[in-house]
Amino acid sequence: MTIDHETRFAVHPDAAAAMGTEDLRRHFLIQDLFQPGRIRLTYTHYDRMIVGGAVPGADPLPLETIRPNGTARFLERRELVVVHVGGGAAEIRAGEESHALQPRDMLYVGMGQEVTFRSADAGDPARLYLLSAPAHRTLPTRHLPHAAAKRMDLGARATANERSIFQYTTTIETCQIVVGMTQLAEGSVWNTMPAHIHDRRMEAYLYFDLPLEARVFHMMGAPHETRYIVMANEEAVVSPPWSIHSGCGTSAYAFVWAMAGDNVDYTDMDPAPLKDMR
């Protein structure tokens, strides 16, 4: 079997407030996602979101079920989003259809499909970021090139948060998963500040396009009890519904954000004003 998996349990905000650095990293940080020839998955108890990575070679790499799913097939009761975050072109087979993904493209796969991954060039394998959440019905599989995503330009150079947000799933129908990508402009380092929470949905971030020595300080915690996790390139972090999720990097970077929960309303958030944060 070419799949590794682990489980992350939900953490109460009071428990998180008492954690030191190593405990915060053990519960919320996801490392080593992209391993050649393997699929690595983290099954979370936050809205049952699965966060993973796949690095296929020239041979098909099947997305097989894992024990926490409790189903015979991985997507028997789930939907899937695949985001190409690096490397060469990828070919993803979903059911009877095949889809060619270039860097920063997204593929949505509806419930019930069998999925395999392969790289067009084994010498330059694709790094595929995987996000899966429970689904209640089968929706059409859709390939969304990066250029077709809904774009919003926010922030300003004066506040070091000039950025472009690319909303992927707002242009297609999903059961509950919401996914997009944010690109920081050169010279900007802050994302999602002022911060917010959304008590009805969890979120996960994957930071990428970071230089080897660069880092992002990912802010988390209840607004009145904040903490941070220092993150390197192509590492992910789980954000509970009660937590803020913001970051400041030592250089420009990009990140994929993904939510699952009670609705698919991108604007459903509760602000955390800077004056109230601690």
Nearest to 215 by CA among 223, 206, 224, 207: 207
Residue 196 marked as a ligand binder: yes
In angstroms, rounded to a whole number, what is the distance separating the alpha carbons of residues 101 and 83?
A: 9
- Give yes or no for a contact between 114 and 85, defined as CB atoms under 8 angstroms apart: no
Residue 136 marked as a ligand binder: no
Residue 114 marked as a ligand binder: no
Name the strands in the sheet holding 178-184, side by side, starting at the edge strand that comes first in the sequence. 29-30, 235-239, 201-208, 254-261, 178-184, 163-167, 150-154
Residue 99 marked as a ligand binder: no
In angstroms, rounded to a whole number, what is the distance separating the alpha carbons of residues 43 and 174?
A: 20
Q: Which letter, b or e, does each residue of 16-47 get, where b requires 16 or more Cβ atoms within 10 Å of its Cβ?
A: beebeeeebbebbbbeebbeeebbbbbbbebb
- Bind-site residues: 196, 198, 203, 245
- Bind-site residues for Zn(2+): 196, 198, 203, 245
